[in-house]
């Protein structure tokens, strides 16, 4: 339970932020925020960071919190407002704006691709930015991310997001955003399956299995389960193999339909200068930067662990 003094202090921080930066009252009033005590405590504490010149800490705390379920609309709108305030003084160059999506099954060079895009001038890059997009019925989450991209495009010429979950929504995104590009990285099927099995637990009891519906008694439930399609098979090896087949079959269809916006690249292209140039030139970078010493994700990374940091352009 909050004491009356805590409530007064929270309201004081809320009022101070609204006076100094921008009113959040058009998103939610303080009295309504009181109805959500867990959200209120988190939001007010981080507004206090923002007030005390710890804007980056505030934004990254909000970003990490989006990994968890039950994020509601007003929370996302406050997040977008804070992001706007965080980047508003960053000036973009004169390049035409574009959104770049790095996709692939996973275990297919996404981390390396993220690093390659991140070293490009005037490019804001994120790897698996939360909240994850459900494979089915994720349109509202896609809308949130598109708002985020368009907000970032006020300060950056290029915004890139790398995650497997964009594929089901690629066609609609291209139709609504003609200057969007999809880089689909592809790795050998057997290598992909084996790599997934290795990092998910090799199908043993307690392993993670995103690709088969289950009750959590043998395989572990995971917050990313909804971001993958499901297959009616008995074994995880079959499921991951079917996932690979389905993913690249769908990618082939979209590439044929939108060849100027969607292209499949072999993972080996990330390992050569010419291959990296092929990837960057497809996105119409005028001055592409290559780097052959990019560290690959040989093992794994904690999913969704990427953070905001303003880039200082030379």
Q: What is the pLDDT of residues 67-122, one digit of tens each?
A: 886 778 999 999 999 999 999 888 777 678 999 999 999 999 999 999 999 999 99
pLDDT score of 244: 98
pLDDT computed for residue 215 by the predictor:
96
Question: Is residue 281 scored above 90 in pLDDT?
Answer: yes
Query: Could you tell me what percent of the chain has a pLDDT over 70?
Result: 90
pLDDT tens string 215-236: 999 999 999 999 999 999 999 9
Which residue from 166, 156, 87, 173 is spatially nearest to 127, judged by alpha carbons? Answer: 166
Q: Is 256 exposed, middle or buried (0-12, 13-18, 19+ CB in 10 A)?
A: exposed
31-53 average pLDDT score: 95
Provide the whole-model pTM: 0.91
Which residues neighbour 246 within 8 Å (Cβ) at sequence distance 6 or greater? 229, 231
Q: What is the percent of the chain with per-residue pLDDT over 90, rounded to a whole number?
A: 84
Query: Given this model, what pLDDT does residue 227 score?
Result: 97
Q: What is the CATH number of domain 98-192+221-282?
A: 3.40.50.300
Beta strands 123-127 and 98-103, pairing class = unpaired
Q: Where are the domains of the chain?
A: 4-87, 98-192+221-282
Whole-angstrom Cα Rg for the chain? 21
Q: Is residue 50 helix, strand or coil?
A: helix
Read off the pLDDT of residues 150-188 as tens digits, 9 standing for 90 and up: 999 999 999 999 999 999 999 999 999 999 999 999 999
Task: Report d(CA 293, CA 295) in Å as an integer.
Answer: 6
DSSP alpha helices (H): ranges in the chain?
Answer: 4-20, 30-33, 37-51, 55-65, 73-87, 110-118, 139-152, 170-176, 189-200, 236-257, 273-282
The confidence score (pLDDT) of residue 72 equals 85
Residues 6+ apart with CB under 8 A from 263: 181, 182, 183, 184, 255, 282
């Amino acid at each position: 339970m909050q004491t009356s003094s805590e409530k007064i202090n929270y309201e004081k921080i809320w009022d101070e932020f609204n006076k100094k930066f921008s009113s959040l009252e058009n998103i939610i009033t303080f009295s309504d925020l009181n109805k959500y005590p867990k959200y209120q405590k988190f939001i007010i504490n981080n507004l206090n960071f923002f007030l005390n010149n710890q804007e980056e800490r505030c934004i990254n705390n909000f970003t990490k919190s989006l990994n968890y379920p039950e994020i509601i609309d007003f929370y996302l709108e406050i997040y977008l407002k804070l992001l706007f305030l965080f980047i508003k003084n960053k000036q973009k160059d004169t390049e035409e704006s574009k959104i770049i999506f790095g996709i692939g099954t996973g275990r297919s060079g996404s981390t390396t691709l993220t690093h390659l895009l991140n070293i490009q001038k005037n490019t804001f890059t994120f790897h698996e930015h939360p909240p994850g997009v459900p494979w089915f019925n994720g349109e509202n989450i896609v809308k949130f991310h598109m708002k985020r991209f368009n907000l970032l495009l006020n300060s950056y010429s290029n915004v890139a997001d790398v995650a497997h979950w964009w594929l089901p929504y690629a066609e609609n995104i291209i139709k609504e955003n003609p200057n969007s590009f999809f880089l689909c990285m592809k790795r050998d099927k057997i290598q992909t399956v084996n790599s997934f099995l290795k990092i998910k637990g090799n199908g043993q009891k307690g392993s993670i299995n995103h690709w088969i519906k289950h009750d959590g008694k043998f395989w572990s439930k995971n917050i990313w389960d909804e971001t993958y399609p499901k297959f009616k098979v008995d074994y995880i090896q079959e499921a991951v193999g079917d996932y690979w087949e389905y993913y690249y079959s769908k990618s082939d269809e979209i590439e044929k339909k939108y060849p100027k916006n969607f292209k499949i690249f072999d993972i080996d292209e990330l390992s050569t200068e010419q291959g990296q140039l092929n990837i960057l030139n497809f996105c119409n970078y005028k001055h592409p930067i290559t780097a052959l010493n990019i560290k690959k994700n040989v093992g794994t990374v904690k999913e969704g662990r990427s953070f905001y940091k303003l880039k200082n352009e030379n």
